[in-house]
Every structure is written in structure tokens, then in C-alpha cells.
Amino acid sequence: MQIIAGIVTCLFSLALIALLIVLLTKKAWAISFISSFASTAKAHFIEQSLRLIAGACILIYSENMLFPKIFNLFGWIFMITSAILMLTPWKWHQSFGKSAMPLVIKNLILYAFAAAVMGMIILYCVIAPLDL
């Protein structure tokens, strides 16, 4: 289970890094992708399920990472917020998304850069303790 959790944690971090790369190379597609979050009930539940899985994997693998207490807390926060959003009617999530999306698109480079930095930190904290 630890190995699978570590692999998923690495894939999650790579997805965060990929967001910046996609934004820099295919901005229109990146905006379309981000705008699709919570656009339907199915998209809402897929998004929250993926967040829940990523949070659980970070939580499970946190003891093997640098700064295990921080990543343990991060995993719990990620899981709890995802569970709350899963229990929230998706129309509320969609309504919030529609009001927040102009601000997100306006600052998309900043968000993508911050996500990429977070992805690099997570990836480093997974890889650094390994005896390679």
C-alpha cells in the first residue's frame, strides 16, 4: 500500500507541475479544463474523488516523506475539504465556481505557478528520503 500511495503522490505532484506547462503552451485548453470543474454533477464528483484519493495517498505516504507531520496534516486537510465538497450539493460548488472563475482566469499564471511549486516541493519531499 505504501508503494501505491507513493506513486499516486508523485503522480499528483507531476499533475500540479503539468498544469503550468499546459498553461504556458495551450492557454485556451487550460482555461477550458479549469472552467469545466463542477460544470456537471459527474465532473464535481470525479474532481472530489481524485482529490480524496490524492489526500489519502499523501496521508498514507507522509511518514516516508520529509516533514511527515506537515504532509500528514496536509493529507487530512485535503481529504476533509474534499469530503465536505462531496457532501455539498454540486450546484453550490458550480455557483461558487462561476463567481470565482473570472478571478482565477485573471490570475491563472500565478495559480499555475503556485501549483507547480507545490508539486515540486511534494515531489522533492517524496524523493529526498529515498536511498537511491
Residue 21 lies in a domain: yes
CA dist., res. 22 & res. 108, Å (int): 12
Residue 25 lies in a domain: yes
Residue 86 lies in a domain: yes
pLDDT on residue 123? 98
Q: Could you tell me what percent of the chain has a pLDDT over 70?
A: 100
Q: What residue type is assigned to position 4 of the chain?
A: I
Residue 18 lies in a domain: yes
Quickly count: other Cβ atoms within 10 Å of residue 73's Cβ. Answer: 14
Q: pLDDT by residue (tens digit) across 60-100?
A: 999 999 999 999 999 999 999 999 999 998 889 889 888 99
In which domain, by residue range, is 6 found? Answer: 2-127
- Provide the H-helix boundaries in the chain: 2-25, 27-35, 41-61, 68-87, 90-106, 108-127
The domain total for the chain is 1
Closest CA to 76 of 54, 46, 92, 96: 54
pLDDT on residue 117? 98
Residue 115 lies in a domain: yes
**pLDDT band, very low/low/confident/very high, at 54 (cuts 50, 70, 90):** very high
Kindly state the cell numbers that stand for 57.
495517498
pLDDT on residue 34? 87
Which pTM value belongs to this model?
0.91
Question: 3-state DSSP call for residue 9?
Answer: helix
CA dist., res. 132 & res. 115, Å (int): 26
pLDDT at residue 43 above 80?
Answer: yes
Residue 132 lies in a domain: no
